[in-house]
Amino acid sequence: MAASTGPISLTVHGAAGRMGRRVVALGLADPDFQLVGAIDHGQSDQLGKDAGAVAGEAPAGIEISSDWPATGDKNTPQAVVDFSLPEAVDGCIAHCVQAGSPLVVATTGLSDQQKQSLSDAAASIPVVWAPSMSLAVNLSMKIAEQITAALKDVSGGLDVEILERHHRFKADAPSGTALKFGELIAGQLGESTTHVHGREGHTGARTREEIGYHAIRVGDNPGEHTIVFGMLGEKIELNVAASNRDCYASGALAAAKWLIHENKPAGLYSMFDVLGMSQD
């Protein structure tokens, strides 16, 4: 794949959704991108409408469609950003593999089989996948790892609880971001770690091996995570919160730029790679 010398041709998958609209809007405002495609499902009531207008911006001259550009067409995108639904991701992956399009997947709630499909696709195209595209969230994940590594053997034990808040419309719980926090923390705590999702009734004393998850669904909260590190006599709370959805959209576009401008080869990448925080 040749390095990009002009604006990055961009297709947004899930363009009529809440997040897709923000990706469209921010992509249109960024001179590094040229929107060439806006894809949504066949039953969307936004089909045929201008993607820019649907996103609340000036008309972009690109209609929302359920059909992908033909492979080899001059408008075949250099990058695809997927902010759709789990049931739509498989078709997006298949298209990008066929077209050779670098892919950023920001959809959450993927099954193990779909995650394997992403790994398989990464054998032929570059893919960025992360449970959160937020730069602040990914930095907080690294901080959480560091806190856990420093305190895991503290006298009296370390208790870790993860609270996440999202809007009432979110379909999966706990969030993929909360689960990723837990995965990274468990990697520091060791193999005996168990994951407990909520508590009810006479549960008995908390064990030292637990990571607790608590999912809160309220109003239009775009996303907030609090990691509580509890010790005897003191605690640390690490909180990262979005005030609007643009942090996720801008993070996804930053990942697309990174794939193209860095001329990344086929492979599966994370936002840690995009931010230069991956460990060798």
Number of domains in the chain: 2
Q: How far apart are CA 145 and CA 183, in angstroms?
A: 10
Q: pLDDT at position 128, please?
A: 97
Predicted TM-score (pTM) of the model is 0.86
Q: How far apart are CA 96 and CA 103, in angstroms?
A: 7
Phi and psi for 23 in degrees, rounded to 5? -65, -45
Q: How far apart are CA 156 and CA 80, in angstroms?
A: 49
Q: pLDDT at position 279, please?
A: 64
Residues 228 and 93 in one domain: no
Beta bridge partners of 13: 39, 82
Contacts with 87 (C-beta within 8 Å, 6 or more apart), sequence order: none
Q: What is the pLDDT of residues 217-254, one digit of tens each?
A: 999 999 999 999 999 999 999 999 999 999 999 999 99
Contacts with 75 (C-beta within 8 Å, 6 or more apart), sequence order: 9, 36, 37, 69
Query: Would residue 170 show up in a list of annotated catalytic residues for this protein?
Result: yes
Q: What is the pLDDT of residues 113-156, one digit of tens each?
A: 999 999 999 999 999 999 899 999 999 999 999 999 999 999 99
Domain ranges, residue 188: 135-241
Q: How far apart are CA 64 and CA 67, in angstroms?
A: 9
Model confidence at 4: pLDDT above 60:
no
Residues 43 and 167 in one domain: no
Residues 93 and 165 in one domain: no
Helix/strand/coil (H/E/C) assignment for every residue in 106-150: CCCCCCHHHHHHHHHHCCCCEEEECCCCCHHHHHHHHHHHHHHHH
Q: pLDDT at position 171, please?
A: 87
Q: What is the pLDDT of residues 168-224, one digit of tens each?
A: 999 889 998 999 999 999 999 988 999 999 999 999 999 889 999 999 999 999 999
Residues 115 and 152 in one domain: no
Q: Which of 95, 166, 225, 257 is catalytic?
A: 166
Q: Which of 41, 49, 170, 195 is catalytic?
A: 170
Residues 16 and 124 in one domain: yes
Q: pLDDT at position 277, please?
A: 87
Model confidence at 57: pLDDT above 80:
yes
| CATH classification of the domain holding 93 | 3.40.50.720
Q: What is the pLDDT of residues 62-117, one digit of tens each?
A: 999 999 877 666 666 789 999 999 999 999 999 999 999 999 999 988 899 999 99
Residues 124 and 165 in one domain: no
Query: Would residue 257 show up in a list of annotated catalytic residues for this protein?
Result: no
Q: Cα separations (Å) of 138 from 16, 143, 190, 213?
A: 26, 9, 21, 18
Q: pLDDT at position 5, please?
A: 64
Helix (H) or strand (E) holding 214: strand 210-217
User: What average pLDDT score do residues 249-269 get?
Assistant: 96
| CATH classification of the domain holding 159 | 3.30.360.10
